[in-house]
Structure 1
Amino acid sequence: MSDTYEIDGANDGADEAETPETGTLPLDVWHRARGGRMVEFAGYWMPVQYEGIIAEHTWTRESAGLFDVSHMGQLYISGEGVEAALEAVLPIDLSTLKPYAPRYSLLLDDQGGILDDLMVTRWNEGFYLVVNGATKWDDIGHLREALPDAVNINHLEDSALLALQGPQAFAALNRVVSGENPLSALTFMKGGQFKLAGVDAWISRSGYTGEDGFEIAIPAEAAAEVADLLCAQPEVKPIGLGARDSLRLEAGLPLYGHDLSPETSPVEADLAFGINKRRRTEGGFPGAERILAELANGAPRKRVGLNLEGRQAAREGAAVFAGNEKVGVLTSGGFSPTLNHPIAMAYVAAAHTAPGTALEIELRGKRLPAVVVPMPFVPHRYHR
């Protein structure tokens, strides 16, 4: 799960005094003190970069980067009948969800469109959800309307969320963390309770860069101390939104508000893995009629990866052509620092989605050659 941001359109020239409604995160002062170039994003001031997007991207791929993702919505849902109630809202089989093991899921509308993508974890008698920052208030409203009164939704506003990502993330975090169980007990999509800088920390081995890494929920008041402790490790540097975007694109991971929206279904988005076997048989979730039909018969279009020739990147909204026929539209695109050429994701008509299919992308009246390729563009390196 990622979040909505468009780096090219970032309001980096805004004067904070002119936008008093823009919020600050627990690490706002910390980011500015470390030279973070702040932009307005998802209603908050956030760092788009520190020393440069490509340098930060490369550092994360080779070492370990620290991302502030405290703008994300952290929710704890509990109460009488919570499991059945939540399962009626999400297309997940919660009976298969082991304690402290996060699982990817989706919030859907009645037509099967994606309202948000999220992570859900069984915590004690309830469920911990992490939803996208730009949609969290809408998500809370949707859940309050959809869930019965006996189910409680607790927005964990006093919790900060950090992501430590990269091949050296384990070495850096293992040096400073303690707990009943060793950090090495966590494999990809497993979590647990630990101590970090003297405070309780929920840590899961997960993230949205394609690299090994961890997501760390801590009390907001301890965020600066924890960030200082992590960045004191030689493997770790703070990383901004720009590199977060290029990393997730290389990993082939969709971005809500760009690659995912109420106009896209999980089948079109190639996220059908989020619909468990029992739910495919029984249905009973929002949009099930459309989604089960697409699973059985195929969707009219599909999210695909594209390699572009040359050096010029194409961006969201560019039309995709097969000969003279428009067959799709780009939803994410940029230059891949790892591969050293442009890449993109697009929704393309089903007849043109096979790997190796030659297409063209229209950019400023010219056509750029492109070819459909499997995703991820850069192999995932999760610790399984």
Structure 2
Amino acid sequence: MPDVPVTLSSRQLRRVELALAAPERPLTLALEGVAAAAGDTLVLHDAEGTDVAALAAESVEIVPPHAAETPQIGAGEAPPLPGIARVTGPVSPRRPLGHRDGGALRVGPETARVPRATLVTGTVPDADDAGWAGRTSPVIVRDTGDARALATAIAKIEAGGRRAVVLPDAGDGLAATLDAARAVVADDVDVWETPIPAPAGRAILLTGLSGSGKSTISKLLVERLAAADPRTVSLLDGDEVRLILSAGLGFSRDDRMLNVRRIGWVAALVAAHGGIAVCAPIAPYEAMRREMRERVEEVGRFLLVHISTPVEVCEARDRKGLYAKARAGQIPEFTGISDPYQVPTDADLTIDASVVAPDKAVDAILARLAELDA
């Protein structure tokens, strides 16, 4: 059978790395939109396109997309959500994984097992912390994709005269992390539960119909954040993004998907470096919003805000006459008229800007952000 190429997310890449460190343990990957069957060989690529490993599919479970009816505004059909293939089988290396944070300290097939080790679940305490008393070296720290936090953790461990071991963590929970530590590092693992800091970076997606008030609210939000938050704040407004980042794209379904995918990629990059990205495209399809959430949550925190201003209010506000042209058939694929807007069912906050003033809308967003950080 032909090989099936698969590009991994950073979280999936950490899962593959851990499986390569314990090759006797089968690997399971949940792959969205991948057509695979038992007997296939999946060639696993990193984000740069390097084929780092191969997964021999012994079993494949197809999970269909969420079947719940999503409310929508406007005619036409939105792109369907892709199904997920849960593929299980042995994994083998094809070439080195390349640069990995804390590379010399990462677990691998050659890692020498020790009788005992300490696993720190969150922030590594300072060397003079009383909790270090009686703790066994080596000290295992988790790589969750935050390079800065990992470097700080390693430095603290080494400052205390102990040896650090880096364990890739794909976010499967403490039980899975402990199981992996026992499989590749030590039989006896002492768990030191310390506070887990919230991700430093975040992305805020304001989604809604044209004329709903997204741009007004997002610009005011950026001003308020810039005045009150020490982090860098970047605005990715839908119309402005199309002038440069998405220049040349039209308004077909594929172009809309690519436009929001580019915004999500930049937003995740901002969040990964500890900044705040405020994004205000229409983002009409559930599939594109879900993709952005998953991308950002690998590196930071994501907030989805639905600006739910009714279509009739948006139309009444339309000084450019776009809605009238769309109803007359002069603008094809216009969201809310001739192309659908799928109403978010997973919004973290919903604001009707026809009854909530922009400054009050920003107050609500900031309050929701504070709740998430609490």
Alignment TM-score, normalising by the size of structure 1: 0.25
Which protein has the bigger strand share? 1
Q: Which has the larger radius of gyration?
A: 2
Scaled by the length of structure 2, what TM-score is found?
A: 0.26
Q: Considering fraction of residues, name the structure with more helix.
A: 2
